[in-house]
Amino acid sequence: MARIKTIGVLTSGGDAPGMNAAIRAVTRAAIYNGWAVKGILKGYEGLIHNEVKDFTTESVSGTINRGGTILRTARSKEFMTEEGRAKAYETIKANAIDALIVIGGNGSLAGAQLFAQEYDIPVVGLPGTIDNDLYGTDTTIGYDTALNTIMDCVDKIRDTANSHNRIFFVEVMGRDAGFLAQNAAIATGAEAAIIPEDRTDVDQLATFIGRGVRKSKNSSIVLVSESKKDGTGGAQYYADRLLKEYPEYEARVTILGHLQRGGSPTAQDRILSSRLGVAAIEALKDGQRNIMIGVKDDKIVYVPINKAIHIDKPIDKELINVLNVLSI
């Protein structure tokens, strides 16, 4: 492999708190090792249209505490085409970029893998997604912050819920993974979590109602993962079902939406992002490519991108049991 002199870094897909801390770590670790850094704006769209800036230590000063991403992000349909990726490679060559670091979720890393295969460029991925759904890492950039944001919101909803005899369905992100809903339910003392991992089992709404809303409680809060692409699931879906099937109960719906993506990253996300960013540069120094940097049992691990994006990350069934026990 040719000696690396310049790296490119981009953020892609949905933003996640801690992405700026990761950009900062990648930039400073690269410069520490004598490499130049190119910041690619607007994700793969910026790579296609040559929106590239020289990054210095000063470029990332004062960013560790900021949410969002200073590089900005986008979802690129053009990059999904061969022509789009060919344009992106022209940008790589024009800027003499020798390796690429991609910070994003499942779709972003899938794009990185395809690009690396087609053009033989070293790519390292960092898991940047609040959903925590990438295989091979215990946690992802932004997950802890999002979890704390949900907790704060549900705590406030609880104040209202305690004043009314209603079931509150609170929808959180995680269409294909229930980590946010399940752990937020435990953290907030919610009565139930309806998550994708349980959809093949018994009817979750019927199970919740069947357990009985405890008579000493005048309200219940249920955390629900967002609806699937076919429109089923989600808080409104279950509230509508409740109205039709259990008319003795009154329901309210709160959809937290993009609130969950924003805010200053927690200490845990800042530390995680910093560790992963430095580890990405170390991996490239060691000749690694087509891997995602993760954390397992608080140790840095290298996960083949193919595994990270194609293997389902299982939810710990113990968490489901904990919530069931504590929600009586």
- Tell which residue, 132, 172, 145, has the closest CA to residue 257: 172
CA distance 36 to 188: 45
* Helix H or strand E encompassing 320: helix 317-326
Tokens of 243: 């109205």
C-beta of residue 327 within 8 angstroms of C-beta of residue 190: yes
CA 84 to chain centre: 25
Question: CA distances (Å), 33 to each of 2, 62, 273, in order?
Answer: 16, 21, 19
Length of the chain: 328
User: Catalytic residue at 131?
Assistant: yes
- Tell which residue, 85, 81, 87, 132, has the closest CA to residue 106: 132
The 3-state DSSP class for residue 313 equals coil
Catalytic residue among 98, 131, 144, 198: 131
C-beta of residue 315 within 8 angstroms of C-beta of residue 327: no
Catalytic center residues? 131
